[in-house]
Amino acid sequence: MNTHSETFSDKVLGFTLPARNARARVVRLDGVISDVLAAHDYPAPITHLLSEALVLAALMGGLLKGDDAQLTMQAQTQTGVVSLLVCDFRAGEMRSYAKFDAEELDVLGANPSLSAMFGDGYLAITFETGPGQRYQGIVPLEGETLADACQAYFTQSEQIPTIIRVASHAGAKHHVAGGLLIQHFPDGEEGRERLHVRMDHPDWEHVSVMAGSISHKELLDPTLSMEGIAWRLFHEENEVRVQPGANLSRGCRCNQEYYEGVIKRFPAAEQADMRNEDGKIVVDCAFCAKAFELQI
């Protein structure tokens, strides 16, 4: 394993297993969760849900290259208590938001299941790798966790063997969450076997067993570095190549100039309908809960 200073939190760490044709991302979120969620007074079930979503966004977003690349994850339903969840990642900057019925959520208790919160919903994952380069996969919102649904996305939409594990803990004032994503590289060279159609490939069987042994305690342990996680799982491999990834931070991209530019594109009559009783156009950002009074 390559040597460098160890990484403990609020950063993506990548590593590859060359002999096994596998790549992985590890992440542990500490202060960044509190920073992202500070704008809203979310109840515990929503805090837990968004913590998991932020980990997943960091894991999947960490697979992208380039400062303009973006990952957006959206869970939506018309039949559940949580009607909308949005989380995105761009160059290490993350933001998230959830829309839900507070009264109905209270009825579900302290630890509601994913199906209880979303009902008959779906998960859409969008990768934007550059200008005009955008692709999206949509899968049913099934399984016990959001991680289960994301794992199904890679299996069904991209046909890439994938293991995802996520753990989170929400305290009264402090939140921490961690996760591991590991995939088998598809072998797409002409004339060679496509590994993504061989879920029982010996290399993948070994990697999936090792990755599946990771515990929630290890993912959350503040004294265990992310390099330490990779070493614990795969120290018997001949080579583990570590690839430090993006630093993670709260990054809502709302600003006065952007909103004014958008609103100015509307006809004057429509702008007039947007004005409040004081004649002002005010735009609320759902992500950071800021209100922007536009100078139009």
Q: What is the pLDDT of residues 147-166, one digit of tens each?
A: 999 999 998 888 889 999 99
Phi, then psi, of 6 in degrees rounded to 5: -75, 155
| Res. 189: pLDDT tops 90 | no
Q: Taking the CB of residue 160, how many other CB atoms lie within 10 A of it?
A: 14
Give CA 212 to chain center in angstroms: 19
Residues of each domain in the chain carrying CATH 3.55.30.10: 11-250
Average pLDDT of the chain, as a whole number: 89
Query: Strands of 70-76's sheet, edge to edge?
Result: 133-140, 122-130, 70-76, 82-90, 93-100, 249-250
Q: Taking the CB of residue 21, how many other CB atoms lie within 10 A of it?
A: 17
| Res. 167: pLDDT tops 70 | yes
What residue ranges in the chain does DSSP mark as E strands? 11-17, 22-29, 70-76, 82-90, 93-100, 122-130, 133-140, 162-170, 175-184, 241-247, 249-250, 281-284, 291-294
Specify the pLDDT at position 196: 45
Cβ neighbourhood burial of 40 (10 Å; 0-12, 13-18, 19+): middle
Q: What pTM value is reported for the model?
A: 0.88
Could you report the per-residue pLDDT of 110-129, keeping only the tens digit for each? 899 999 999 999 999 999 98
Task: Return d(Cα 96, Cα 269) in angstroms, integer.
Answer: 33
Confidence at 294, pLDDT banded by 50, 70, 90: confident
Q: Domain 11-250 - what CATH class?
A: alpha beta
Most distant CA pair in the chain, distance: 69
CA-wise closest residue to 81 among 105, 61, 56, 59: 105
| Res. 11: pLDDT tops 90 | yes
Task: Return d(Cα 11, Cα 165) in angstroms, integer.
Answer: 17
CA-wise closest residue to 33 among 167, 126, 148, 154: 167
Confidence at 261, pLDDT banded by 50, 70, 90: confident
* Side-chain half-sphere CA neighbours of 110 within 13 A: 1
